[in-house]
Amino acid sequence: MSLIQPFRGLRPAAGQAAAIAAPPYDVLSSDEARARAAGKPWSFLHISKPEIDLPRETDPYAPEVYAKAAENLQKMLDAGILVRDAAPCYYAYRLTMPGPAGDHVQTGLVAAANVADYDSNRIRKHEFTRPDKEDDRVRQIEALNAQTGPVLLAYPASATADALIDAVARGTPDSDVTADDGIRHQIWVLADPAAIAAITEAFTAMKALYIADGHHRSAAASRVAAARRQQGRTNSADSFLAVIFPHHQMKILDYNRVVKDLRGLDESSLLQKLGGAFSVEASAQRVHPSRPGEFGMYLAGKWHKLTIKPSLVPQDPVASLDVSLLSDHVLGPLLGIADLRRDKRIDFVGGIRGLAELEKRVDSGEMAVAFALHPTRMDQLMAVADSNEVMPPKSTWFEPKLADGLVSHVLD
């Protein structure tokens, strides 16, 4: 079986994409999803966050929630709002994110990725997963008999694959939606057998693909496939819904940290202790790190630039990450935060919110100190995955986000 394959996508009917497209299920709370879906009966949030159609006190992991998702999907099918392609296709997916320095554009491929390659680590991971989150996705897939949340993958440099995908993303798109956050989502359908075969061959030649976001979705797909194989059911559950972009087009933003207290230290004591591992410079402006090994720190209404001493940066692909350097030389030894997953004294702020959000959290008194980091690079992520290691929690924040509902994968 090839690394990827075409599939019969479940997509919005003509003219319905704007009514259906929704943010990913895991970036909104139930209350936020309820507000976003108000007055939008065909929003995909009714499938991805179906608790919004049940009483507010409903446990979002209760059986009736998954049943409601299936009911809402069937309503959209019965109404002809979602339709399934007659033959297996690939789909080009272009994201355009406006920015002060110009638009960021990335063009990738929607495909069914091979579960066996995930299981053998040819589709490579860089994060641990949580059983409860895996369980949630397994129940959602089984209830819908479909995968509706795409896994975000990256492929290593391939001029051949780039050219083949770009050739699909021409002319009038089959779906074209600009979301309320300004991100434009465009989908082109590829049904030509010769072009499909060429793309399949180009990806089959690749050494590996890399999970950027969606570890719980891919792990859940693997579990569903394994369970169905045990039942003697061999079908499209052996692949999972993915959107695959060239690694050099993907955009990772900083994933910053805020800490509730200084563990008994005062401002001057913390600054003094930081001098053991960093050069410390006061700054009259916000410090947005310009390179790896450089950090911004907001403390008591003032910014400081911290630069790690070069001798303290190891060669190990995980230990050399900025998120690791901050943990190993500041969060752990100075502030007593050893477990980023469980310690309630630390929180994480995606770079999309800007440095003003860090100032707000500290100035309000909610947090005592904030740290701005340089974004993790894609080559660093791939090096960690190639080493069969995992990154620290909250190491990457990808933007722009994919939309749910534009292409789903039905399990025949």
pLDDT tens by residue, 49-86: 999 999 999 999 999 999 999 999 999 999 999 999 99
Q: What's the full length of the chain, in residues?
A: 412
Q: Cα-flanking dihedrals φ and ψ of residue 32, to 5°?
A: -65, -40
Strand partners, 220: none
Three-state DSSP at 404 gives: strand
pLDDT at position 1 is: 61
CA distance 4 to 200: 6
Long-range Cβ pairs for the range 274-280 (8 Å, 24+): 274/306, 274/330, 274/334, 277/308, 277/309, 277/312, 277/329, 277/330, 278/306, 278/307, 278/308, 278/309, 278/329, 279/306, 279/307, 279/309, 280/304, 280/305, 280/306
Around 360, how many Cα atoms within 13 Å sit in the side-chain half-sphere?
Answer: 6
pLDDT at position 47 is: 98
Helices (H), 79-174: 115-119, 131-144, 159-168
Strand partners, 258: 347, 370
pLDDT at position 339 is: 92
Among candidate residues 123, 404, 73, 386, the one with its CA nearest the CA of residue 239: 123
Among candidate residues 175, 140, 10, the one with its CA nearest the CA of residue 63: 140
CA distance 288 to 169: 35
Residue type at 271 in one-letter notation: L
Q: Which residues of the chain have pLDDT under 70?
A: 1, 234, 236
- Give Rg (Cα) of the chain: 22
The token duo for 184 is 């434009």
Q: Cα-flanking dihedrals φ and ψ of residue 174, to 5°?
A: -75, -25
pLDDT at position 27 is: 86
> Taking the model in full, what pTM does it have?
0.92
Determine the longest span between alpha carbons in the chain, in angstroms.
Answer: 68
pLDDT at position 361 is: 98
pLDDT in tens, 291-313: 999 999 999 999 999 999 999 99
Q: Cα-flanking dihedrals φ and ψ of residue 97, to 5°?
A: -115, 115
pLDDT at position 8 is: 97
Q: Where in the chain is the domain with CATH 3.30.1760?
A: 255-374
Q: Taken in order 245, 243, 173, 50, is the CA torsion positive or negative?
A: negative
CATH 2.20.100 fits 255-374, yes or no: no
State the distance between the two ends of the chain, measured CA to CA, in whole angstroms: 17
Beta strands in 317-400 (DSSP E): 346-350, 369-372, 397-398
